[in-house]
Chains A and B, each alone.
Chain A
Amino acid sequence: KNEVEQSPQNLTAQEGEFITINCSYSVGISALHWLQQHPGGGIVSLFMLSSGKKKHGRLIATINIQEKHSSLHITASHPRDSAVYICAVRGFGNEKLTFGTGTRLTIIP
């Protein structure tokens, strides 16, 4: 069973700051997902990655397969980035996701 840990659990930052959220997992995976959950509860997929780095706008996700670790970075953070960011991993041979507990991010204007 894969254990997925995220840090920090809560993060408050000023608008414009560079944000880093970390995720580590215990068992090798086929892919890692970064998801965003807004207060209404809906979940939106941000990235799916199995190696290296991906960038979309102000968001960057990296993964180190050997170290079983991924990071999500937000550059020039904005209050609308306030949400819960969730890391979820997919094992080999099945497609279900195992979720981390999420990081609650609050960006203050």
Chain B
Amino acid sequence: EPEVTQTPSHQVTQMGQEVILRCVPISNHLYFYWYRQILGQKVEFLVSFYNNEISEKSEIFDDQFSVERPDGSNFTLKIRSTKLEDSAMYFCASIRSRNTEAFFGQGTRLTVV
């Protein structure tokens, strides 16, 4: 069964450092998302990406965040200068087309120290 894969599964980084979280969506999917879940809280939308550009972003997704799909397969989330409050589980998701099932990766647990 096709799946969304995320790497790394866990990353520890020092405050102020840049991190890149990687995702490989399902190959024939067209819409890509990043969500995050702070420990003990609900999952929150960060950004959606379609046709090689951001289609929507939340208030959380400020100038410190960026996304890229550099090679047609990987989908990355970069945090330029991490803060303690960026510590969370980050999920990548993809869907094939509008109003179809969402597939999630296993998540990357980011810990900022």
Contacts and interface: CB of A to CB of B under 8 A. Distances in A.
* Majority SS at the chain B contact face: strand
Contacts of A45: 101-104
Given A41-B89, A41-B107, A94-B56, A48 B45 contact: no
A93 to B, nearest CB: 10
Nearest to B33: A96
B36 to A, nearest CB: 11
Interface string B89-113: 1010101001111111111010000
B48 A43 contact: no
Nearest to B101: A48
A42 B45 contact: no
Interface string A82-93: 000010101000
A95 B101 CA distance: 11
Interface in A19-51: 30-31, 33, 35, 40-45, 48, 50
Contacts of A31: 99
B100 to A, nearest CB: 7
B31 interface: yes
B106 A40 contact: yes
Contacts of A30: 99
Contacts of B18: none
Interface of B: 31, 33, 35, 37, 41-45, 48, 50, 55-56, 89, 91, 93, 95, 98-107, 109
Interface of A: 30-31, 33, 35, 40-45, 48, 50, 86, 88, 90, 94-102
* 3 closest cross-chain pairs (CB), A and B: A43-B104, A42-B106, A99-B43
